[in-house]
Structure 1
Amino acid sequence: MRRAAALLVSTVLLLAAAPAPVPRWDAPGAGNPLLPGYFADPSIVRDRGRWYVFATIDPWGDDRLGLWTSDNGRDWRFSMPDWPTKAAATSPTSGDSKVWAPSVVKAGNGRWYMYVSVGSEVWVGTAPSPAGPWRDANGGRPLIAKGFAPAYHMIDAEAFIDDDGQAYLYWGSGWNWTNGHCFAVKLKPDMVTFDGAPRDVTPPGYFEAPFMVKQGSRYLLTYSDGKTTEDTYKVRYAVGDTPFGPFREGANSPILSTDAKRGVVSPGHHAIFRSHGRSYILYHRQGLPFSPSGDQVLRQVAVDPLTIRDDGRIDRVAPGHSAAVAGFGPHRTVGLRWRAGGQGRDALHGPERAADDNYATAWAPASNAPLLVADMGRVRRVSGSAVRMAFAHRNYALSVDASQDAKTWRTVATLPAASGSPIELRHPVTARYLRLRVPSDAAVWEWTLR
């Protein structure tokens, strides 16, 4: 009896010591990525009960920004603000770079301000709410022109408002993935005019994407270094006694790095926000499966808890796939359950991926069979579809067919050129089977039936 008890105790101890299984990035129901699509450089704010995420559209930006809105932090809807655009925010020195890296804040005057990179210059806009309408706030000129410091990249501007209401702006990067520099300046109450000369406040290991937070009397400048197209991109932080530093690198820096075992590659260019009294880091990481080709990059937005200690120390982040944020809904709103049929491009992009409630995985059809079949198990009433395509800003020709027996089909909805996320198709019909037709080069994150 004693021997059996000893064996039981030792077995329990072994089980307790065993490492926890690593969560799979392609498992059904994952909360990360937070958004369905390829986006980077996120900025997040909350206004009147609604969440707003502004972000760069991948690959490498677009002529407009992406804006995602949600009332529950789980179900997000895509749009593109009327400002900034590449056409409206350009100067003789701006170059051909696209619209990147928005930072959105609410100022003491009650208005909202956006600092955004367009053509390697920083522009500023304003709006009465995050929903817009957004308009240029600096007379059609860049706030920070390329010529301010030609040896460095004038991008990634981020505003910070101190406890006393004083606003500051931080920005700067390097060329060719090296020699990043960070500049900072105090802003006047109009949020546009500089109050004094900009200063070089570059902390150790800095490349780009500054984001300032304050803990007690300490100023924590967080930022990225490395190369986003590889697995070296990461988030560091430095501590200073004033908004201008001088800054010394934090004890646990870097706080967010590649974790290949967890399926997290090249995390960075982040924002820090609070929800229900807790801190979180919103950031982009490489879309999976990670297979870079040259400088092509497809990134996705994720969120994880962040702990900032009273002494200004930031704990290292354990990046994951749950996206568990206090105040966000426990899960996305889902529709009718269905079993997938059809062909996928390969095993990783099979038809079941369009029904796994995971924005890291997508159905990509075989080139000769761009058809996805939903079997609902029995004949039932379906009012419509919500389709989340791979690229929310692109146009797609979509149609839905219905059948009782998967042999005889009739078309119940057609959209010749639709964009957005989700794309809504209305088709009140009673059927057991539905069939989604997409372009042969398209992919679908999720197909939700209502």
Structure 2
Amino acid sequence: MLRARHVARRPKAARAASLLFAALLPLLAVPAMAARPVENPVPGSNPLFRDKFTADPAPLVVGDTLYLYVGHDEAQRDEMFNMREWLVYSTQDMKHWVEHGPIMKATDFKWAKADAWASQVIEKDGRFWFYTAVEHDDTHPGKAIGVAVSDSPTGPFVDAKGSALVTNQMTPKGEHSWEDIDPTAFTDDDGTTWIAWGNRHCYIARLKPNMIEIDGEITEITPPHFEEGPWLHKRGDTYYLTYASLDRASHRDEKISYATAPSIRGPWTYRGELTGSGKYSFTIHPGIAEFKGQWYIFLHNASLTVGDQNGSIGRRAVTVEYLQYNDDGTLKPVVQTDEGVSVPPPQ
């Protein structure tokens, strides 16, 4: 998910929202070159889903099926974001997708009042754990991370804790109320599950075996140009932290950068940019998975048109590209394409 440049703290939400809207208003303009709908798109080409706007993709592989969890962008006209629910799709060949419908609404967390922002589902001990960002009610103002659970990857998911896993008050270093967003969860080889998240600051913490409580301290691991959207994965002996980055000195739009480490505890070494910006989109968000021997990176841009609605900051579309590694474990740069995975991987 997005979010903003620095804004003054108070008068609370009304002032912050008005300043944020003013700062980003130029980005809400309808892209003149937004893609028109393709009547018969080639399977595996981008964007993946063309009947609605989707964002913040998070893949999960279960057996011979890849599930993709996304937020549902429903912004109208000049709205910045309007995200009320999460959707899930599945595929067995990366070209043909099945839509399973909504798995949960933001307000299904009774302590939350809005904003179905970025999420990730992981499997552990035969259950499926859903970590996501929402807007907490006024008892704990600001963004918060909730956890839900299901016995099926397609849901329904229900609040597993009855309260937030992380609230804004737990990470007081942040400059704004949406610091605690975009959770990524990862289970290491020893069975320990970790969660990382953040906007402008990146945090990591161990989860207790019950998957609904933080175990120990919250640690900051912010890599260079970190903006939001962290994603943890491991290949061989190397840990990867991939994220939406923003070099404010030279760029307006987010790109994807990454860091690597020999341990989930670090130290993390910055490896540079992995992708450019998403077409017409200020935000971008990575999700990475290995499926049937091939690695993929899921992203979003704002190139889709649905009916009379063109893409914008609150109307994005999920895409996918091949992810490839160099012999030394670093990642090869990813070029975002219209062809996606409808064509073979680049050589």
Equivalent of residue 86 in structure 2, options 65, 73, 79: 65
- Shift in Å at residue 99 of structure 1? 1.0
- Shift in Å at residue 122 of structure 1? 0.3
Equivalent of residue 255 in structure 2, options 229, 234, 237: 234
For 1:112 and 1:194, the matched residues in 2 are separated by 18
* Change in 2 beyond 3 A, CA 1:63/1:284: same
1:46-78 CA-partner distances (Å, limit 9, x unpaired): 335443221111132422212223454423325
- Shift in Å at residue 45 of structure 1? 1.7
Report which of the two structures shows the higher radius of gyration computed on alpha carbons: 1
- Shift in Å at residue 270 of structure 1? 1.2
Question: Residue 282 of structure 2 contacts residue 313 of structure 2 at CA under 8 Å; is this kept in 1?
Answer: no
TM-score normalised by L of structure 1: 0.57
Q: Does 1:35 align with 2:54?
A: no
Q: Which residue identity lines up with residue 272 of structure 1 in the other structure?
A: I
Q: Which residue identity lines up with residue 225 of structure 1 in the other structure?
A: S
Equivalent of residue 303 in structure 1, options 309, 312, 320: 320
- Secondary structure of the equivalent of 1:269? coil
For 2:106 and 2:288, the matched residues in 1 are separated by 27
Q: What's 1:124 paired with? A: 147
Higher relative contact order (CA 8 A, sep 6+): 2
- Secondary structure of the equivalent of 1:76? strand
- Secondary structure of the equivalent of 1:323? coil
Question: Residue 264 of structure 1 contacts residue 319 of structure 1 at CA under 8 Å; is this kept in 2?
Answer: no
Equivalent of residue 211 in structure 2, options 191, 205, 223: 191
Question: Residue 56 of structure 2 contacts residue 70 of structure 2 at CA under 8 Å; is this kept in 1?
Answer: yes
For 1:258 and 1:246, the matched residues in 2 are separated by 27
For 1:296 and 1:220, the matched residues in 2 are separated by 27
For 2:224 and 2:196, the matched residues in 1 are separated by 15
For 2:213 and 2:342, the matched residues in 1 are separated by 36
Give structure 1 stretches of 5+ with no counterpart.
Answer: 1-23, 174-179, 328-450
Question: Residue 231 of structure 1 contacts residue 258 of structure 1 at CA under 8 Å; is this kept in 2?
Answer: no
1:273-299 CA-partner distances (Å, limit 9, x unpaired): 11221111011112247xx99x84211
Equivalent of residue 301 in structure 2, options 256, 279, 285: 285
Question: Residue 224 of structure 1 contacts residue 268 of structure 1 at CA under 8 Å; is this kept in 2?
Answer: yes
After the TM superposition, which residues 250-261 of structure 1 pair with which residues of structure 2 at under 5 Å, given as runs? 250=271, 253-258=272-277
- Secondary structure of the equivalent of 1:87? helix
Q: Which residue identity lines up with residue 237 of structure 2 in the other structure?
A: S
Q: Which residue identity lines up with residue 292 of structure 2 in the other structure?
A: H
Q: Which residue identity lines up with residue 298 of structure 1 in the other structure?
A: R
Q: How many residues align?
A: 282
- Shift in Å at residue 241 of structure 1? 2.4
Q: What's 2:227 paired with? A: 207
For 2:313 and 2:57, the matched residues in 1 are separated by 19
1:70-115 CA-partner distances (Å, limit 9, x unpaired): 454423325112x3x2323143xx5x541111101111x1211010
- Secondary structure of the equivalent of 1:222? strand
* Change in 2 beyond 3 A, CA 1:61/1:115: farther
Q: What's 1:17 paired with? A: none
Question: Residue 256 of structure 1 contacts residue 318 of structure 1 at CA under 8 Å; is this kept in 2?
Answer: yes
4+ runs of 1 displaced by more than 6 Å? Answer: 24-28
1:333-352 CA-partner distances (Å, limit 9, x unpaired): xxxxxxxxxxxxxxxxxxxx
Q: Does 1:154 align with 2:180?
A: yes
- Shift in Å at residue 201 of structure 1? 0.8
Question: Residue 257 of structure 1 contacts residue 267 of structure 1 at CA under 8 Å; is this kept in 2?
Answer: no
- Secondary structure of the equivalent of 1:189? coil
Give structure 2 stretches of 5+ with no counterpart.
Answer: 1-33, 76-80, 136-142
Question: Residue 100 of structure 2 contacts residue 154 of structure 2 at CA under 8 Å; is this kept in 1?
Answer: no
- Shift in Å at residue 197 of structure 1? 0.8
For 2:106 and 2:242, the matched residues in 1 are separated by 28
* Change in 2 beyond 3 A, CA 1:240/1:325: farther
- Secondary structure of the equivalent of 2:169? helix
For 1:220 and 1:166, the matched residues in 2 are separated by 16
Question: Residue 41 of structure 1 contacts residue 55 of structure 1 at CA under 8 Å; is this kept in 2?
Answer: yes
* Change in 2 beyond 3 A, CA 1:165/1:264: farther
- Secondary structure of the equivalent of 2:320? strand
Q: What's 1:163 paired with? A: 189
Q: What's 1:106 paired with? A: 123
Question: Residue 61 of structure 2 contacts residue 291 of structure 2 at CA under 8 Å; is this kept in 1?
Answer: no
- Shift in Å at residue 143 of structure 1? 0.4
Q: Which residue identity lines up with residue 280 of structure 1 in the other structure?
A: Y
TM-score normalised by L of structure 2: 0.73
* Change in 2 beyond 3 A, CA 1:325/1:221: farther
Q: Does 1:268 align with 2:289?
A: no
Question: Residue 277 of structure 2 contacts residue 284 of structure 2 at CA under 8 Å; is this kept in 1?
Answer: no
* Change in 2 beyond 3 A, CA 1:240/1:47: closer
- Secondary structure of the equivalent of 2:83? coil
For 1:115 and 1:244, the matched residues in 2 are separated by 20
* Change in 2 beyond 3 A, CA 1:278/1:231: farther
